[in-house]
Chains A and B, each alone.
Chain A
Amino acid sequence: GAVVSQHPSRVICKSGTSVKIECRSLDFQATTMFWYRQFPKKSLMLMATSNEGSKATYEQGVEKDKFLINHASLTLSTLTVTSAHPEDSSFYICSGELAGGPGPNEQFFGPGTRLTVL
């Protein structure tokens, strides 16, 4: 199957700093990538949808100025958590949509990034 990587896998930062998380599709081109957030023992919540070359679409309640998403190429999307605070600590997972026929296509998920803000 298609492979998606994330970097870093774990990051610990001080409150007030910004953290960038990379999501790469290694063996396919992903015109659409998705960013999810998962709290302990909770479901994944979609944060935003990013399309290559255009602005991301954020879900209701997600602060776009806090979570900056850039999808500059067909294989790379980045999520920057700006001025991180302890409440931003979470597990962030990205996925890439494998382009194919009409309609939604299968998403392939990265291994996740554990963010801890002290």
Chain B
Amino acid sequence: KQEVTQIPAALSVPEGENLVLNCSFTDSAIYNLQWFRQDPGKGLTSLLLIQSSQREQTSGRLNASLDKSSGRSTLYIAASQPGDSATYLCAVTDSWGKLQFGAGTQVVVTP
């Protein structure tokens, strides 16, 4: 059974620092991996989607890497801002289209 783990569970950094969020998964037979942002009491906003054949994806200040063989993905957020404060979730998709989510990393960026 696929298990997705996110470390750390919570992270607090001063504004301007780079953020590094980690996601690991136990079964490398994934179709793709996604990173989401969730604000308190809100739904999910998709940030980046990496296909299993890709090594990384970039969007603005965000960069996500994928090492499928080792079951790891890392989300980098450069030059963090207070508006980046949120919970970040990673999820892997299996061949049936089902998403398995990690528990998330709660990020606080202090001014």
Contact with A along B31-58 (1 / 0, CB 8 A): 1101010000111101001000000000
> How close is B58's CB to chain A, nearest CB, in angstroms?
17
Which of A61-69, A73-81, A82-90, A102-110 lies at the interface with chain B?
A102-110
Within 8 Å of chain B (Cβ to Cβ): is A46? yes
Q: Is the CB of B41 within 8 A of A108?
A: no
Q: Is the CB of A104 within 8 A of B31?
A: yes
Q: Is the CB of A107 within 8 A of B43?
A: no
The contact of B43 among A49, A97, A110, by CB within 8 Å, is A110
Within 8 Å of chain A (Cβ to Cβ): is B63? no
Which of B11-19, B70-78, B96-104 lies at the interface with chain A?
B96-104
Segment 80-108 of B: residues with Cβ below 8 Å from A: 89, 91, 93-104, 106
* Contact size range, A: 20 to 34
Within 8 Å of chain B (Cβ to Cβ): is A114? yes
- Determine the residue in chain A with the shortest Cβ distance to B49: A106
How far apart sit A71 and B16, CA to CA, in the bound complex (Å)? 46
How far apart sit A110 and B46, CA to CA, in the bound complex (Å)? 11
- Determine the residue in chain B with the shortest Cβ distance to A109: B44
Most A CB contacts (10 A, CB to CB) among B4, B99, B106 go to B99
Q: Is the CB of A97 within 8 A of B103?
A: no
Chain A residues contacting B102 (CB-CB under 8 Å) are 43
- Listed in ascending order, the chain B residues whose CB lies under 8 Å from chain A are 4, 31-32, 34, 36, 41-44, 46, 49, 89, 91, 93-104, 106
Give 20 A-B contacts (CB < 8 Å), ordered by A residue: A6-B43, A42-B103, A43-B89, A43-B101, A43-B104, A44-B44, A44-B89, A103-B97, A104-B31, A104-B32, A104-B94, A106-B49, A108-B46, A109-B43, A110-B43, A111-B43, A112-B41, A112-B42, A112-B43, A114-B41
Known: A43-B104, A44-B99. 13 other contacts (CB 8 A): A32-B97, A41-B103, A43-B89, A44-B101, A49-B98, A95-B99, A103-B97, A104-B93, A104-B96, A104-B97, A106-B34, A111-B42, A112-B41
- Listed in ascending order, the chain A residues whose CB lies under 8 Å from chain B are 1, 6, 32, 34, 41-46, 49, 91, 93, 95, 97, 103-112, 114
